[in-house]
Amino acid sequence: MKAWHILVVDDDAVFAETLARALARRGHEVAVAADGEAALAPRPRPFDAAVLDLRLAADSGLRLIPPLIAAHAGIRILLLTGYASIATAVEAIKLGAVHYLPKPAGVDEILQALGRVEGDPDTATPEEPMSVDRLEWEHIQKVLAEHDGNLSATARALKMHRRTLQRKLAKRPVRA
d(CA 28, CA 19): 11
Residue 69 per-residue DSSP state: H
**Tens digits of residue pLDDT in 90-106:** 999 999 999 998 887 88
**Tens digits of residue pLDDT in 110-139:** 999 998 877 767 767 667 776 777 778 778
Q: In this structure, what are the phi and psi dihedrals at residue 63, rounded to the nearest 5 degrees? A: -65, -20
Higher local confidence (pLDDT), 66 or 56: 66
Per-residue model confidence (pLDDT) at position 120: 67
Higher local confidence (pLDDT), 83 or 63: 63
Give me the domains of the chain, ranges plus CATH numbers. 5-115 (3.40.50.2300), 132-170 (1.10.10.60)
